[in-house]
Structures are given as C-alpha cells and as structure tokens.
C-alpha cells in the first residue's frame, strides 16, 4: 500500500503531495488524516496522509518512517474540503488543510511535541456506554422550554425540518425583520435534528455576539454545546475540539472558524447575519464562510440556513432566482411594531448654531429615556475622540508615517494613533510642514460622544463599547452582562453594538453619524450603510417597551438612508440591484482583487505593471488597473491594486493563477489574491 503525503511546511516547491510506501507494520494504523514522519532528502519531515493508494507508478519510492501521532487528525471529507478551498481561493493546499486540523498543532510540531495533543485528547474520549448514554439523553430528555411559534415561524421550521428529514443539501434564506424570532426557529430546527442523532454548526459574525447566543443555547441544550472562536485560550480551544472529536457534543457555536469543527453526522449549518464581512477571512486562504458552508453541506448532505434582516445583495438575488429557498418572517414577535425612525438633517443643526455631536432632537429624546429609567444605545462607527488632526494654516492632515491614513486623537492617553498599524505618538504641537501652531481636531469619535453625553447627563452611567475598551479576553461577556443587567444607562459603541444585542429596556437608539461608510471608494458602500442602520435600529423596542430611533445624517435624501428609515429592505434592494446592473458589479459579474505591495515602491509598481500585462493577454476585457490602492501605503508598504471582473469565475481565476505562475516576483514583493472580495480597500 502507498500513501500520498503532504509535507507540513509551506513553500511553492512542496505544495504538492509526495508518494511513500506504507510499511507492513503500520498498514493497519495509517489512513487518511494520519500524521507521519517521512524521509525527505537528507532530513526527516512531518507530513499528513491525504490519500491511500493500492499501487503507484512512481519510481524510487521511500517508506514512511513512523506515525507522529496515534490518532488521525482530520477526516477524508476534511481533505476534500481543503482541496476545494485551495483550488477555489488560489491558496496553498497545506494552508487550507491547516484550517481543519486541531488548534495549536503547528506550534507543537515546531516544539518537537508531536502526538501530545492527540494523546491528551484520548483521556477525554467517551466509552461506548458513555456514547450510548449521551445519545439516549438527547432523544428522550427533551431540550429546554420551547417557545410557541408564530404561524410564519412554524412554516419556516416545517420547511427546514422537511429538508433535514429528506437528507437533502438544501439552501435556505430566512429573511426576517429584526426581532422576528429567527433564533427560535434555529433552535427548534436543531432540536429536531438532535432527535435524529445528527449535529449542527451555528455561526455568528462577531465574537461579541457569542456570549448572548451561548446563554440562549445553553439554557435550551445544556452541555451538548461546544464554543469555538479566536478569543478562547489555546488550552480551551483544544478542550472544546476534543469534546467535538469524541462525540460529547452535537452543537458547535462560534465565529467564522467554527465551520471547520470536526463534527460527525453533520445535518445543519446556520449562518446568522450572513451578510457580515467578518465571514470573509483576511488571511490565506481568503475564504468566505458561506461558500465553505455550502461545500461542507454538499459533502454531508446537510441543510444550510442563511439568516438575516438585511441579507447581502448577492444572497437575495440568488434567492429571488430560486437558487435558495426564501422564507420570510415579516413581523416581530407578538406583532410588536418596528421602532419609528426620525431622520435629523445635521446641516440644519449647524445653521441653528448647535455644534454638539448630538442634535437637539437626540438630546431631548435621550433625556426623556433616562428620566423614565430606560436605556439607550448611541452608535458611531469611529474610534477615538476626533477622527483627524489638521493644520489650519496649510491644510495638512497629520498622517501615520507607515500608512496613508490620518491619525486619530485619543483623549484618555493624550496621543494620536493609527487605526491600521497601531502607531502612536504624542499630540503634535506644531505642523510638521509649516511649523504653524494652528493645529485643529476635526470629526467625531466614540470618546467625544462619551464626553458630550457626560456633560449633558452627569448622572448617567455610560458604557463605551469599542475595540479600545474590549481588548482583554472575556471583556465582551463583561460588557454584555453589565448592560443587559441594567448596570449602565447609555451604551456608546461602534459596529459591535449594531447587531445581536437584545435588551428589554433599550427604547432609544441614536445613530450619531449615518454617513461614515457612504463616501468610501467601494461599490458596496450603500449596502453596508443600509445594513448597519437597519441592524442598529433593530436594537430598540424589542420587548414590552416601545422604541424609537434617531438617525443623524448630512445625506437624508440618499436611498440607503431613506430605506433604512422605513425598515424597507425591498425598497433598498430594488434601487441597489439596478445600480449594480448598470456597473456590471456582483451579482452580475465575479471579481478577483489583487494587491501588490512592497517597501520598495519601484519594485511594487513594476511587478503590478508586469502582472497586469500578463493577465490582460489572457483576459482582453475586464482588467482594471494596476492603480494605486485606496490605502496607498500600509504598515510601511506601498500598495497597488488590480481588479479583474468577469462572467465566469473559473476563467478569470485560471488566468490569474497562470499569470502569477509565469511571473518572476521579487522576494521583497507580496502579491495577495482575494477571490470574490467583500471590500475594495
């Protein structure tokens, strides 16, 4: 017998499998997923068996030396998934395969501790009797209390359960307004699944949302849940991974990477708020969780449910075309009304000499809310106190020395910082270009909102929730519980407060600036704005108390803002889909984005020009650029952008791959390929 082995070190020269003979003594112990020690040249290397062969035509085949771990570390389906990812997203096979391996395995290999992880995991394995007990407890002991469903929820559940029973890899779009009870449908579908002895993956877009979902799912399913996300310690991730491998849990809940959990008998994958950009990986392979879930479901005959009040344009388009089954939840639970939205034109506030970041209307509503003992959320998608520092003499905006972005003033530390690379410096006293002392701070950040609210309402208990304040592990849970338990009156935050929060006493949501994303050089700018506004507005009035929303804007006529003010997804979609059609952007085309970067600007330009020329020979139309990237310099590197647009992804992907293979790329130049990007920055 022979084995196809993938070596454990990534390089262009070894991104392929090598054939080795399986020694007779190891024949019964080596299979797909085995971690082995193999001879490679004059040294020994760790490798992974990705295929077993009965025969081979390769000459001079060497034997596998030994097993490196006593148990397989991935399955045959995992290999198929990784191969597909490497091909689809133009990454190394090993880089994709690492995603389906146990956490921390690479570090253990580098420290020479191969096998320790799996051996330790053996102690947590269940006996056959324990497995029987676990299965029995799931099919006789009912889950926690189920809520009574609305007719629309029941219809949705029936359709999903029917596909589960039919063992078909059906794709659903569950399009429900905020507060319509999508999570209850998820949980009751999972309960049905567990009765059949199958398992489920539930994905959320932000780690900050995980504590809330864990609370709800634990109350319903007790200890049959494992949680996976990047904020867990490596030890905790290993413990959860082993619980999954050993069959102790049947539900995995987590952020993007939880899609690779080694569940057996997978029957259902749920992607909550499927439109979120956080489902797209920013590291190779730059996969989209939605597409990976579809492939994983096909390998397991599993059902996929995409849920959102604001589905992505591409998802809704495909649902309208019949590629996904669309189920609509048009009303909130108990017919609770969606909160009325008031648009405030901030140009009128300036005319009225109101220079506060809070309009007169928002100040009044905030006072009334706090006087009634209720809670408010104020949303601003910017960190810091002011968003940029400028010289009023010569007009220079103070930028990061490593990135082409303005520095942000942080009042607490009395410094300016770069949001991209973390560079920090003391406050400039004079202009670096003209030496003027006329330095002025402009814009609005979360810190400034906090200060303004504190001045207007000195007794208010204010909680600021952004990446500056939740840097420590576990702090998401602390913030959520503090606000949910009523120990803060006002929550001020960035995008982390725009979705998922379900707090009964929140009756006011204020959007301090609705225009932040509208002017970005990105074809999805309007979509992101509409989704953000609709989601944050949906935090108000979710329970017995009625809610209201104030949106402050300098563009009240924009179709994304107008549609969000009436909670009208269909109105927005009709406008946006025609805009996309006219420009031939997705879903009417497929995109590949390439960023060429280097500290040496001349080398970056030459490589970008050469690569653009290679691709243009293979694709006569649809190659845009190269041009300087929207952020021209990042972390000390100059960046140039090529965008390829085409009707068939396979065609443009092959053209890009062939061009890169034929191009001589200097060692100090990086070429980053993003298949189906979710942003243009």
- pLDDT tens per residue across span 226-267: 999 888 889 999 999 999 999 999 999 999 999 999 999 999
Which helix (DSSP H) or strand (DSSP E) does residue 591 occupy? strand 590-598
Closest CA to 220 of 303, 122, 141, 316: 141
DSSP string, 59-119: SSPPBP-EESSSS-SS-HHHHHHHHHHHHHTT--HHHHHHTTSPTTHHHHHHTT-TTHHHH
Report the range of poorest mean pLDDT among 96-105, 137-146, 538-547: 137-146
Within-domain flag for 142: no
**What is the CATH number for 602?**
3.30.70.600
pLDDT at site 443:
66
pLDDT at site 27:
94
pLDDT at site 130:
41
Closest CA to 82 of 17, 168, 1: 17
Q: Do you know the residue count of the chain? A: 681
pLDDT at site 102:
93
Looking at the fold, whether 325 and 349 belong to one and the same domain comes out as no
Rounded to two decimals, the pTM is: 0.89
Looking at the fold, whether 81 and 222 belong to one and the same domain comes out as no
Cα separation, 407 vs 422, in Å, equals: 10
The count of C-alpha atoms lying within 13 angstroms of the C-alpha of 491, restricted to the half-sphere facing its C-beta, is: 32
Q: Is the pLDDT score of 208 beyond 60? A: yes
Looking at the fold, whether 549 and 660 belong to one and the same domain comes out as no
Domain end call among 308, 334, 360:
334
Within-domain flag for 612: yes
Residue of 604 and 394 predicted with greater confidence:
604
468-519 pLDDT, tens digit each: 676 655 577 787 788 888 999 999 988 777 766 788 899 999 999 888 888 7
Query: What proportion of the chain, given as a percentage, has pLDDT over 70?
Result: 92
119-170 pLDDT, tens digit each: 433 333 444 434 443 443 344 744 567 889 999 999 999 999 999 999 989 9
Looking at the fold, whether 476 and 622 belong to one and the same domain comes out as no
Within-domain flag for 466: yes
Please provide the distance, in angstroms rounded to a whole number, between the alpha carbons at the two ends of the chain.
50
Residue of 681 and 489 predicted with greater confidence:
489
DSSP assignment letter at 521: S
Looking at the fold, whether 533 and 629 belong to one and the same domain comes out as no
pLDDT at site 668:
95
pLDDT at site 144:
61
Confidence of residue 627 (pLDDT cuts 50, 70, 90): very high
Q: Is the pLDDT score of 595 beyond 90? A: yes
325-347 pLDDT, tens digit each: 999 999 998 888 899 999 999 99
DSSP collapsed to 3 states, 276-297? CHHHECCCCCCCEHHHHHHHHH
Cα separation, 24 vs 185, in Å, equals: 52
Within-domain flag for 415: no
Confidence of residue 385 (pLDDT cuts 50, 70, 90): low
Q: For the chain, what is the domain count?
A: 4
∠ Cα 594 596 602 (to 5°)? 150
Within-domain flag for 430: no
Report the range of poorest mean pLDDT among 11-20, 125-134, 294-303, 610-619: 125-134
Mean pLDDT of 194-221: 88
62-73 pLDDT, tens digit each: 999 999 988 999
Within-domain flag for 170: yes
pLDDT at site 474:
57
pLDDT at site 163:
96
Mean pLDDT of 377-383: 80
Query: What proportion of the chain, given as a percentage, has pLDDT over 90?
Result: 67
**What is the CATH number for 79?**
3.40.1440.60
**What is the CATH number for 213?**
3.40.50.300
pLDDT at site 470:
67
Separation in Å, CA 442 to CA 231, 387, 395, 451, 471: 34, 6, 12, 15, 26
Cα separation, 562 vs 187, in Å, equals: 34
Looking at the fold, whether 201 and 246 belong to one and the same domain comes out as yes
Q: Is the pLDDT score of 579 beyond 80? A: yes
pLDDT at site 116:
42
Mean pLDDT of 523-551: 91
Range of the domain at 596: 590-675
Cα separation, 291 vs 85, in Å, equals: 9
Looking at the fold, whether 478 and 492 belong to one and the same domain comes out as yes
Residues 567-592: b if buried by 16+ CB within 10 A, e if exposed: bebeebbebbbeebeeeeebbebbbb
554-573 pLDDT, tens digit each: 999 999 999 999 999 999 99
Q: Is the pLDDT score of 412 beyond 50? A: yes
Residue of 522 and 271 predicted with greater confidence:
271
176-196 pLDDT, tens digit each: 999 899 999 999 999 999 999
Within-domain flag for 434: no
Mean pLDDT of 355-384: 90
Looking at the fold, whether 366 and 513 belong to one and the same domain comes out as yes
Looking at the fold, whether 367 and 474 belong to one and the same domain comes out as yes
pLDDT at site 553:
93
Within-domain flag for 146: no
Residue of 116 and 376 predicted with greater confidence:
376
CB burial class (10 A; 0-12, 13-18, 19+) of residue 609?
A: middle
5-41 pLDDT, tens digit each: 999 987 777 789 999 999 999 999 999 999 999 999 8
Confidence of residue 448 (pLDDT cuts 50, 70, 90): confident
Looking at the fold, whether 369 and 330 belong to one and the same domain comes out as no
Looking at the fold, whether 564 and 520 belong to one and the same domain comes out as yes
Domain end call among 576, 601, 635:
576
Looking at the fold, whether 52 and 71 belong to one and the same domain comes out as yes
């Amino acid at each position: 017998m022979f084995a196809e082995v993938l070596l454990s070190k990534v390089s262009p020269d070894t991104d392929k499998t090598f054939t080795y003979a399986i020694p007779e003594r190891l024949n019964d112990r080596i299979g797909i997923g085995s971690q082995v020690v193999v001879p490679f040249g004059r040294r020994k290397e760790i490798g992974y068996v990705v295929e077993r062969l009965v025969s081979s035509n390769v000459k001079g085949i060497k034997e596998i030396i030994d097993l490196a771990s006593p148990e397989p570390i991935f399955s045959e389906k995992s290999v198929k998934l990784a191969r597909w990812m490497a091909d689809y997203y133009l990454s190394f096979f090993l880089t994709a395969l690492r995603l389906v391996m146990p956490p921390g395995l690479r570090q253990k290999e580098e420290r020479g501790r191969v096998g320790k992880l799996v051996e330790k995991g053996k102690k947590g394995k269940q006996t056959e009797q324990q497995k029987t007990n676990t299965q029995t407890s799931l099919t006789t002991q009912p889950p926690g209390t189920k809520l009574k469903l609305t007719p629309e929820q029941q219809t949705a559940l029936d359709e999903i359960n029917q596909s589960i029973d039919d063992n078909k890899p059906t794709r659903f779009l569950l399009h429900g307004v905020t507060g319509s009870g999508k999570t209850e449908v998820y949980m009751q579908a999972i309960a049905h699944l567990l009765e059949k002895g199958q398992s489920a993956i539930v994905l959320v877009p932000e780690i900050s949302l995980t504590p809330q979902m864990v609370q709800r799912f634990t109350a319903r399913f007790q200890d049959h849940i494992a949680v996976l996300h990047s904020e867990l310690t490596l030890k905790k991730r290993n413990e959860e991974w082993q619980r999954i491998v050993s069959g102790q849990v049947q539900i995995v809940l987590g952020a993007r990477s939880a899609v690779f959990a080694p569940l057996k008998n997978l029957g259902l994958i749920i992607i909550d708020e499927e439109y979120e950009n956080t489902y797209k990986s920013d590291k190779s392979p730059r996969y989209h969780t939605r597409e990976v879930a579809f492939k994983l479901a096909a390998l397991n005959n599993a059902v996929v449910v995409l849920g959102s009040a604001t589905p992505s344009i591409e998802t809704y388009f495909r649902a309208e075309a019949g590629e996904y089954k669309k189920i609509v939840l048009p009303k909130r639970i108990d017919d609770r009304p969606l909160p009325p939205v008031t648009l405030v034109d901030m140009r009128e506030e300036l005319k009225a000499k109101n220079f506060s970041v809070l309009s007169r209307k928002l100040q009044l509503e905030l006072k009334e809310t706090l006087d009634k003992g209720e809670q408010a959320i104020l949303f601003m998608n910017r960190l810091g106190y002011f968003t940029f520092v400028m010289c009023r003499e010569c007009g220079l905006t103070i930028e990061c020395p490593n990135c082409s972005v303005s520095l942000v003033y942080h009042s607490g530390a009395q410094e300016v910082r770069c949001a991209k690379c973390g560079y920090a410096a003391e406050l400039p006293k004079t202009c670096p270009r003209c030496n003027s002392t006329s330095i002025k701070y402009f814009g609005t950040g979360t810190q400034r909102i906090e200060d303004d609210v504190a001045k207007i309402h000195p007794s208010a208990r204010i909680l600021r929730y952004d990446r500056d304040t939740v840097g420590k592990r576990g702090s998401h849970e602390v913030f959520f519980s503090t606000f949910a338990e009523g120990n803060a009156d006002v929550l001020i935050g960035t995008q982390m407060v725009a979705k998922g929060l379900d707090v009964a006493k929140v009756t006011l949501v204020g959007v301090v600036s609705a225009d932040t994303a509208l002017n970005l050089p990105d074809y999805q700018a309007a979509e992101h704005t509409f989704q953000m506004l609709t989601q944050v507005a949906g935090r108000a009035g979710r329970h017995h108390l009625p809610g209201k929303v104030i949106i402050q804007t300098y563009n009240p006529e924009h179709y994304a803002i107008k549609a969000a003010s009436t909670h009208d997804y269909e109105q927005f979609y009709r406008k946006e889909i025609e805009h996309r059609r006219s420009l031939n952007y997705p879903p009417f085309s497929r995109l590949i984005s390439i960023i060429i970067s280097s500290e040496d600007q001349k080398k970056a330009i030459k490589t970008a020009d050469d690569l653009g020329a290679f691709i243009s020979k293979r694709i006569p139309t649809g190659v845009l650029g190269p041009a300087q990237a929207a952020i021209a310099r990042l972390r000390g590197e100059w960046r140039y952008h090529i965008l390829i647009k085409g009707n068939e992804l396979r065609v443009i992907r092959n053209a890009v791959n062939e061009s890169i293979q034929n191009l001589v790329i200097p060692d100090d130049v990086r070429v980053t390929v993003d298949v189906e990007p979710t942003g243009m920055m």
